[in-house]
Protein backbone atom coordinates (compact mmCIF):
# COMPACT_ATOMS: atom_id res chain seq x y z
CA UNK A 1 0.00 0.00 0.00
CA UNK A 2 1.22 3.49 -0.79
CA UNK A 3 1.45 5.41 2.47
CA UNK A 4 -0.27 8.77 2.82
CA UNK A 5 2.03 11.51 1.62
CA UNK A 6 3.73 9.24 -0.92
CA UNK A 7 3.17 8.91 -4.62
CA UNK A 8 -0.44 8.80 -5.77
CA UNK A 9 -1.24 5.28 -7.07
CA UNK A 10 -2.85 4.87 -10.48
CA UNK A 11 -6.41 3.63 -9.94
CA UNK A 12 -6.49 1.03 -12.73
CA UNK A 13 -3.77 -1.37 -11.46
CA UNK A 14 -5.10 -1.44 -7.89
CA UNK A 15 -8.66 -1.92 -9.13
CA UNK A 16 -7.47 -4.86 -11.21
CA UNK A 17 -5.71 -6.29 -8.17
CA UNK A 18 -8.98 -6.14 -6.26
CA UNK A 19 -10.79 -7.98 -9.05
CA UNK A 20 -8.13 -10.67 -9.33
CA UNK A 21 -8.02 -11.29 -5.57
CA UNK A 22 -11.82 -11.37 -5.44
CA UNK A 23 -12.01 -13.87 -8.29
CA UNK A 24 -9.33 -16.13 -6.79
CA UNK A 25 -11.30 -17.06 -3.70
CA UNK A 26 -12.49 -20.31 -5.28
CA UNK A 27 -8.82 -21.30 -5.48
CA UNK A 28 -7.81 -20.32 -1.95
CA UNK A 29 -10.89 -20.59 0.27
CA UNK A 30 -11.24 -24.36 0.28
CA UNK A 31 -14.58 -25.42 1.76
CA UNK A 32 -15.39 -28.81 3.30
CA UNK A 33 -18.93 -29.43 2.11
CA UNK A 34 -19.61 -32.43 4.38
CA UNK A 35 -17.22 -32.62 7.35
CA UNK A 36 -18.70 -35.76 8.87
CA UNK A 37 -18.58 -37.60 5.54
CA UNK A 38 -14.91 -36.66 5.43
CA UNK A 39 -14.45 -38.32 8.83
CA UNK A 40 -16.14 -41.47 7.53
CA UNK A 41 -13.75 -41.48 4.58
CA UNK A 42 -10.88 -40.96 7.01
CA UNK A 43 -11.93 -44.08 8.92
CA UNK A 44 -12.54 -46.16 5.80
CA UNK A 45 -9.09 -45.33 4.45
CA UNK A 46 -7.40 -46.05 7.81
CA UNK A 47 -6.39 -42.42 8.21
CA UNK A 48 -4.96 -41.81 4.74
CA UNK A 49 -7.79 -39.46 3.76
CA UNK A 50 -7.20 -37.66 7.06
CA UNK A 51 -3.75 -36.67 5.82
CA UNK A 52 -5.38 -35.07 2.80
CA UNK A 53 -7.82 -33.21 5.06
CA UNK A 54 -4.99 -31.95 7.24
CA UNK A 55 -3.04 -30.85 4.18
CA UNK A 56 -6.05 -28.84 2.96
CA UNK A 57 -6.52 -27.25 6.39
CA UNK A 58 -2.93 -25.99 6.39
CA UNK A 59 -3.08 -24.91 2.76
CA UNK A 60 -6.27 -22.90 3.10
CA UNK A 61 -5.03 -21.28 6.30
CA UNK A 62 -2.01 -19.97 4.37
CA UNK A 63 -3.65 -19.24 1.02
CA UNK A 64 -6.73 -17.50 2.40
CA UNK A 65 -4.63 -15.10 4.47
CA UNK A 66 -2.42 -14.25 1.49
CA UNK A 67 -5.40 -13.61 -0.76
CA UNK A 68 -7.20 -11.46 1.80
CA UNK A 69 -4.02 -9.47 2.41
CA UNK A 70 -3.77 -8.79 -1.32
CA UNK A 71 -7.48 -7.91 -1.58
CA UNK A 72 -7.48 -5.51 1.37
CA UNK A 73 -4.15 -3.96 0.43
CA UNK A 74 -5.35 -3.36 -3.14
CA UNK A 75 -8.67 -1.95 -1.94
CA UNK A 76 -6.80 0.40 0.39
CA UNK A 77 -4.42 1.53 -2.35
CA UNK A 78 -7.32 2.16 -4.71
CA UNK A 79 -9.19 4.12 -2.04
CA UNK A 80 -6.11 6.25 -1.31
CA UNK A 81 -5.92 7.19 -4.97
CA UNK A 82 -9.57 8.26 -4.93
CA UNK A 83 -9.19 10.11 -1.64
CA UNK A 84 -6.12 11.99 -2.90
CA UNK A 85 -7.84 12.87 -6.17
CA UNK A 86 -10.84 14.32 -4.32
CA UNK A 87 -8.76 16.34 -1.89
CA UNK A 88 -9.76 14.28 1.17
CA UNK A 89 -6.26 13.07 2.09
CA UNK A 90 -5.83 15.29 5.16
CA UNK A 91 -9.19 14.21 6.55
CA UNK A 92 -8.76 10.47 6.00
CA UNK A 93 -5.02 9.96 6.51
CA UNK A 94 -5.48 8.71 10.13
CA UNK A 95 -7.79 5.95 8.86
CA UNK A 96 -5.19 4.83 6.33
CA UNK A 97 -2.51 4.82 9.01
CA UNK A 98 -4.67 2.56 11.20
CA UNK A 99 -5.26 0.27 8.24
CA UNK A 100 -1.51 -0.01 7.67
CA UNK A 101 -1.05 -1.30 11.22
CA UNK A 102 -3.67 -4.02 10.79
CA UNK A 103 -2.35 -5.00 7.36
CA UNK A 104 1.05 -5.49 8.98
CA UNK A 105 -0.53 -8.14 11.22
CA UNK A 106 -1.82 -10.01 8.16
CA UNK A 107 1.54 -9.55 6.44
CA UNK A 108 3.39 -11.08 9.39
CA UNK A 109 0.97 -14.00 9.35
CA UNK A 110 1.75 -14.63 5.69
CA UNK A 111 5.36 -15.38 6.68
CA UNK A 112 4.46 -17.86 9.44
CA UNK A 113 5.52 -21.47 9.03
CA UNK A 114 2.45 -22.86 7.25
CA UNK A 115 3.90 -24.81 4.35
CA UNK A 116 1.31 -27.57 3.72
CA UNK A 117 3.84 -30.01 2.26
CA UNK A 118 6.12 -29.88 5.29
CA UNK A 119 3.16 -30.08 7.67
CA UNK A 120 1.95 -33.14 5.78
CA UNK A 121 5.31 -34.83 6.29
CA UNK A 122 5.19 -33.94 9.98
CA UNK A 123 1.68 -35.40 10.19
CA UNK A 124 2.86 -38.65 8.63
CA UNK A 125 5.72 -38.91 11.13
CA UNK A 126 4.03 -37.44 14.18
CA UNK A 127 0.54 -38.84 13.66
CA UNK A 128 -2.06 -37.28 16.00
CA UNK A 129 0.46 -35.10 17.82
CA UNK A 130 1.08 -33.00 14.71
CA UNK A 131 -2.64 -32.58 14.14
CA UNK A 132 -3.18 -31.38 17.70
CA UNK A 133 -0.35 -28.84 17.43
CA UNK A 134 -1.73 -27.75 14.08
CA UNK A 135 -5.28 -27.33 15.36
CA UNK A 136 -4.08 -25.10 18.19
CA UNK A 137 -2.07 -22.96 15.76
CA UNK A 138 -4.88 -22.77 13.18
CA UNK A 139 -7.33 -21.61 15.83
CA UNK A 140 -4.96 -18.85 16.87
CA UNK A 141 -4.39 -17.95 13.23
CA UNK A 142 -8.10 -17.60 12.59
CA UNK A 143 -8.64 -15.36 15.60
CA UNK A 144 -5.67 -13.08 14.83
CA UNK A 145 -6.56 -12.98 11.14
CA UNK A 146 -10.24 -12.22 11.68
CA UNK A 147 -9.56 -9.51 14.24
CA UNK A 148 -7.07 -7.74 11.93
CA UNK A 149 -9.09 -8.03 8.74
CA UNK A 150 -12.27 -6.99 10.54
CA UNK A 151 -10.52 -3.82 11.69
CA UNK A 152 -9.40 -3.12 8.12
CA UNK A 153 -12.93 -3.75 6.81
CA UNK A 154 -14.36 -1.30 9.34
CA UNK A 155 -11.92 1.42 8.29
CA UNK A 156 -12.54 0.76 4.60
CA UNK A 157 -16.29 0.87 5.16
CA UNK A 158 -15.96 4.40 6.54
CA UNK A 159 -13.58 5.47 3.75
CA UNK A 160 -15.68 4.06 0.94
CA UNK A 161 -18.81 5.60 2.46
CA UNK A 162 -17.02 8.95 2.31
CA UNK A 163 -16.40 8.22 -1.37
CA UNK A 164 -20.10 7.54 -1.91
CA UNK A 165 -19.85 3.73 -1.97
CA UNK A 166 -20.83 2.42 1.48
CA UNK A 167 -19.74 -1.07 2.52
CA UNK A 168 -21.17 -3.30 5.26
CA UNK A 169 -19.64 -2.59 8.67
CA UNK A 170 -18.28 -5.82 10.19
CA UNK A 171 -19.55 -6.99 13.56
CA UNK A 172 -16.58 -7.25 15.98
CA UNK A 173 -18.47 -9.99 17.85
CA UNK A 174 -17.90 -12.30 14.89
CA UNK A 175 -14.36 -13.06 16.12
CA UNK A 176 -14.49 -16.46 17.79
CA UNK A 177 -13.21 -17.15 21.28
CA UNK A 178 -10.09 -19.31 21.60
CA UNK A 179 -10.68 -23.00 21.98
CA UNK A 180 -10.20 -24.60 25.37
CA UNK A 181 -6.98 -26.17 24.21
CA UNK A 182 -6.04 -27.94 27.43
CA UNK A 183 -9.53 -29.43 27.79
CA UNK A 184 -9.57 -30.60 24.17
CA UNK A 185 -6.17 -32.26 24.52
CA UNK A 186 -7.17 -34.00 27.73
CA UNK A 187 -10.40 -35.31 26.20
CA UNK A 188 -8.46 -36.49 23.13
CA UNK A 189 -6.07 -38.46 25.35
CA UNK A 190 -8.84 -39.86 27.58
CA UNK A 191 -10.86 -41.04 24.56
CA UNK A 192 -7.75 -42.61 22.96
CA UNK A 193 -7.89 -40.16 20.07
CA UNK A 194 -11.58 -40.49 19.25
CA UNK A 195 -12.30 -36.87 20.20
CA UNK A 196 -9.73 -35.79 17.60
CA UNK A 197 -12.34 -36.59 14.94
CA UNK A 198 -14.71 -34.03 16.48
CA UNK A 199 -11.87 -31.53 16.64
CA UNK A 200 -11.21 -32.18 12.94
CA UNK A 201 -14.84 -31.37 12.15
CA UNK A 202 -14.69 -28.14 14.17
CA UNK A 203 -11.60 -27.03 12.23
CA UNK A 204 -13.38 -27.61 8.94
CA UNK A 205 -16.59 -25.88 10.00
CA UNK A 206 -14.93 -22.82 11.53
CA UNK A 207 -13.03 -22.03 8.35
CA UNK A 208 -16.16 -22.51 6.26
CA UNK A 209 -18.12 -20.18 8.57
CA UNK A 210 -15.37 -17.57 8.27
CA UNK A 211 -15.63 -17.61 4.48
CA UNK A 212 -19.42 -17.34 4.63
CA UNK A 213 -18.92 -14.01 6.41
CA UNK A 214 -16.07 -12.82 4.16
CA UNK A 215 -17.58 -13.46 0.76
CA UNK A 216 -20.64 -11.15 0.86
CA UNK A 217 -18.44 -8.29 2.09
CA UNK A 218 -15.99 -8.96 -0.74
CA UNK A 219 -18.85 -8.83 -3.24
CA UNK A 220 -19.82 -5.38 -1.99
CA UNK A 221 -16.20 -4.25 -2.13
CA UNK A 222 -15.68 -5.48 -5.70
CA UNK A 223 -18.86 -3.67 -6.79
CA UNK A 224 -17.83 -0.47 -5.00
CA UNK A 225 -14.42 -0.46 -6.69
CA UNK A 226 -16.05 -1.09 -10.06
CA UNK A 227 -18.47 1.81 -9.52
CA UNK A 228 -15.72 4.20 -8.50
CA UNK A 229 -13.48 3.14 -11.35
CA UNK A 230 -16.31 3.67 -13.86
CA UNK A 231 -16.94 7.14 -12.49
CA UNK A 232 -13.35 8.34 -12.96
pLDDT tens digits, 30-58: 999 899 999 999 999 999 999 999 999 99
Tens of pLDDT, residues 126-150: 888 999 999 999 999 999 999 999 9
Q: Tell me the whole-structure pTM to 2 decimals.
A: 0.90
What pLDDT score does 132 carry? 95
Mean pLDDT of the chain: 92
Domain boundaries, the chain: 11-231
Q: What pLDDT, on the 0 to 100 scale, is given for residue 9?
A: 47
Q: 60 with 116: CB under 8 angstroms?
A: no
Average pLDDT over residues 162-190: 94
Quote the CA–CA distance of 201 and 182 in Å, as a whole number.
Answer: 18
Which has the minimum average pLDDT: 4-13, 61-70, 147-156? 4-13
DSSP character at residue 32:
-
Q: Are 112 and 142 in contact (CB under 8 A)?
A: no
- Say how far apart CA 215 and CA 86 lie, in whole Å: 29
CA-nearest of 105, 126, 22 to 70 is 22
pLDDT surpasses 80 at 6:
no
Amino acid sequence: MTTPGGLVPAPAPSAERVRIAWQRRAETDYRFENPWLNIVLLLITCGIFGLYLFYQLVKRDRDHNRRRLELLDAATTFAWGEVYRRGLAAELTPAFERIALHLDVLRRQSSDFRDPGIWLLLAIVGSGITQIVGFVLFDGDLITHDRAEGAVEAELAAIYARLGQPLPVPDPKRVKHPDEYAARIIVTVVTCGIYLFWWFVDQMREGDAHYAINWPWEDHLAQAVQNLEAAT
